[in-house]
A and B are shown apart, each in its own frame.
Chain A
Amino acid sequence: MSKGRERRAVRSDPWQVGGGSGIEGDGFAPRLNRRHRMANVWRTVFRLSTVVGILALGLLLVNIINDAFGYVAIVNTVDPLELGEGRPLEELPKETLVQILEANVSAGLFRRFAHDEPFEERASGDVINLIYENVVKPRVVNQWTLLESLTQRRTILTQGPVDYPGASERSVRVRFESWVDVAFITSPQSADATRAGIRTAILGSLWTIAIAILFAFPIGVGAAIYLEEYAEETQLNKLIQTNINNLAGVPSIIYGILGLAIFVRALQPLTSGALFGMTDPTTANGRTIISAGLTLGLLILPLIIINAQEAIKAVPNSLREAALALGATRWQTVWSHVLPNAMSGILTGAILSVSRAIGETAPLVVVGASTYITSDPNGPFAKFTTLPIQIFQWTTRPQSVFRNIAAAAIVVLLVLLLSMNGAAILLRNRFSKRL
């Protein structure tokens, strides 16, 4: 570069041999300016790219919050206040509720409810749900995002109720709906978006994650200890190491396919609970919580191993040498010196892997998550749905109101993930203080 510059300088001014004046004479200064301009332009570009990245994260979050709250216009087929003769249904005793239900549904339907579960045994909340689903039948006819709700509140409240042809003004209710609330988290799934909740999904997620971690954590840490503390430089051990690195890059859906073939199909007697006589009568196949949990376990295993290896590597060698010099066996060294020192790193890695597993959707769809269940999972052999599966299903429904509850479920999922990551940081700090 400098050579070329000099040559040109000489060409333009052959009598000037000295470097300095030649540079000044021939457009070096403008070129320098141009270079500086370029440098400035690109610095701005680089900075903007970073801003774009952060902006994308912001947009993602704002978009979700925007959908998770806002006004809704609901049309009730029958006014619930009319049913309760002026009193809200929630205040009525169960006997009155049952009478209301009996008076408003066909005799056959009422008998079927009684057959499913006798009314004496049902909670009054359950009866209210039945009344809502079969008598009141609320329909969400319009919904507004949080932004619209905040900026056009007046218009929505005045024009909202009269906008719907075919619905009398009285039956339309416009109210501010926070789609994320306690009822949303604690109520089971429902075909009615306004009453649907994620209780079964959360429980399903917790079950699968618990099984995944019980399976993957001991094995993962064991493998990491083997590779870092025991393994000699043999071909086999090198193969194991390469293999683990490659497994970490396998798309999650492939694990789903593996889970489908191995856990759901080949090990069906085991994973359906038939071997233990604990089959769930409604499924009786391998598409159960334990299959899903083991699949997720396989998925996070390489991540746990790699993280644990890093943590074990970080333990200073002097500690091992000190223990071995005192005559401790290899395992004693590992158990009493290496592991306590590496535990914070191992746990942090494990929690991060788990937060990855919580968000996984694709492998569970392939393994066979149920689309619609309203009862809580009652053990590892129950059929399952999880939070991300629920989000997926609600997102892909054509009715736009399901987008709102999908957004609400996403809020819950993100809060769950954030608190897990927070826990990871806290745990790491606590452990590192103790040591």
Chain B
Amino acid sequence: MVSMGQRVGRHQPGGRHQPGGRHQLGERTPAGEAWSASWAQASPLDRGLSAATELEVLARRPRIGERLIKAFLFLCGALSILTTVGIVYELSKESLLFFTRRQWEVTNKPLAQDIEAGWTSFEVGTSGASLRDGALIRVAGELMRVEAIEGTRVTVVRGVGGTTAGAHGAGTVIEMANQVTLREFFGKTDWNPQIGRFGIWSLVNATMMTSVIALAVALPLGLSVAIYLSEYATDRARATLKPILEVLSGVPTVVYGYFALTFMTPLLRSIFGTGVVEIYNTASAGIVMGILILPIVSSMSEDALSAVPNALREAAYSLGATKLETALKVVVPAAFSGVAAAFIVAASRAIGETMIVAVAAGAGPNFTFNPFKAAETMTGHIVRISGGDLSYNSLDYNSIFAIGLLLFFMTLTLNIVSQRVVKRYREEYE
């Protein structure tokens, strides 16, 4: 560096620069001195050549340290990709297990007669769980596929899945395979792992209930707050009110759960009657969740509203519009993309919110549209069943991942939609 500076200094035409400063600065260092000595000895042609080669050397010298640093920093960034890949991979892998795992359920239904190896139709007892058409059953190690059921007489295909058909004595208990199918998962409304019922809709429905209630609270309130802060409040009022509201979103969600259970639920019960409102209910959880996402809506919307240029407001005023008309008919439509994005982000947050619903919404799946009844949401269910020591090779463990995958896609879709909305409907102002 020093030598470069000197070279430039020497080649500069004498007149314009002070002869003192730069030369002295360079020659103070020993390297500079050595270089200037060799420079003085070399012929003019050499000088040009050596300068050129040295420059090339400078440019070409591999900077291993720099490369390593860049590679390390890239890895830091790439870790985020790895996280996403990890999430998708693990969720999918275990979900796949969830849908392929065969769980043997003891039906407590015995064979009513001794059967021979060649029989395809026999009597079974009346007790125990009923068999299903097409179900896979196991009788003392032999697999059979149920073809038809008429009263207590079943017709089967013997020796399925590589097992050999044999003779079985009366009283041998039949086991039935439980396998969760996608059709059952998305087609049924009762979720009860103990008896092999895996209809996701009771959980999704509860999630939707709490989220819709939360949004019904947070969207109008949040937008009103945003309009007030951006259009009506003085700068000073905004500077104090906005951070105070944002404190709300900094409070841990488990605290909101506590608030829902100890304040909102008793309040609802005293208003609507203890007979109507259960101790755990989706309304209480939803309202409190609305308070939680209120600052998200108000803050993001306020940012969007404030970004609308004043010229638009002034134009509206000059046409005789009142402040309200300006706000609702000019400013809010102009900031539509930001406000819509705020709404969608809030919805995504509501769907993924866990602790409030885990504490206040109820601990048991329940397919109901009554907001005063207890119902377990997707997130609440995950928290409840993973609370204990969960064994890795169980349907419960896999079901966490199946629910998680659904949750992941729901929130991801909302987030992507919100980004699209911002991009597509953004009004650009100079």
Contact = CB atoms under 8 A, between A and B. Distances in A.
Contacts of B55: none
Contacts of B252: 358-361, 388, 413, 417
A53 B248 CA distance: 9
B275 interface: no
B232 interface: yes
Contact of B358 (A56, A247, A362): A362
8 contacts: A230-B70, A240-B77, A245-B415, A257-B404, A359-B251, A359-B253, A395-B359, A414-B251
Contacts of A254: 87, 91, 352, 404, 407-408, 411
A35, A46, A47, A413: most-surrounded residue (chain B CB, <10 A): A46
A151 to B, nearest CB: 18
B66 A246 contact: no
Interface in B217-260: 220-221, 224-225, 227-229, 231-233, 241, 244-245, 247-248, 250-259
A75 interface: no
Contacts of A250: 87, 352, 408, 411-412
Interface string B90-112: 11001000000000000000000
A410 B355 CA distance: 14
Contact of B80 (A38, A240, A365): A240
Given A262-B90, A359-B253, A226 B408 contact: no
Contact of A407 (B229, B241, B258, B389): B258
Contacts of A277: none
Given A251-B379, A410-B255, A46 B232 contact: yes
Interface stretch (B39-47, B187-195, B306-314, B319-327): B319-327
The 6 closest A-B pairs by CB, nearest first: A251-B352, A359-B252, A222-B76, A49-B224, A226-B73, A46-B228
Interface in A230-281: 230-231, 237, 239-240, 243-247, 249-254, 256-258, 260-262, 265
A388 B252 CA distance: 8
Given A36-B322, A54-B244, A262-B86, A253 B70 contact: no
A374 interface: no
Interface residues of A, number: 88
A223 B77 contact: yes
B198 interface: no
Interface in A52-98: 52-54, 56-57, 59-60, 63-64, 67
A331 interface: yes
Given A57-B244, A301-B80, A395-B359, A43 B254 contact: no
Interface of A: 1-2, 35-36, 38-39, 42-43, 45-50, 52-54, 56-57, 59-60, 63-64, 67, 218-220, 222-223, 225-227, 230-231, 237, 239-240, 243-247, 249-254, 256-258, 260-262, 265, 298, 301-302, 305, 326-327, 329-331, 355-356, 358-362, 365-366, 368, 371, 388, 391-392, 395-396, 403, 406-407, 410, 413-414, 417, 421
Nearest to A35: B322
Contacts of A245: 415, 419
B323 A410 contact: no
Q: Is the interface of B mostly helix, strand, loop or mixed?
A: helix
Contact of B66 (A2, A240, A260, A329): A329
A143 to B, nearest CB: 13
A249 B348 contact: yes
B376 to A, nearest CB: 13
Given A226-B70, A256-B386, A260-B400, 16 more contacts: A35-B324, A38-B322, A43-B324, A50-B245, A225-B73, A249-B412, A250-B412, A254-B404, A257-B90, A257-B400, A258-B83, A262-B90, A327-B4, A360-B252, A395-B257, A417-B251
B425 interface: no
B324 A359 contact: no
Contacts of B407: 251, 253-254
B371 to A, nearest CB: 19
Given A226-B74, A362-B354, A395-B258, A56 B1 contact: no
A198 to B, nearest CB: 14
A329 B83 contact: no
Interface in B174-222: 220-221
B326 to A, nearest CB: 10
B73 A47 contact: no
B257 A257 contact: no
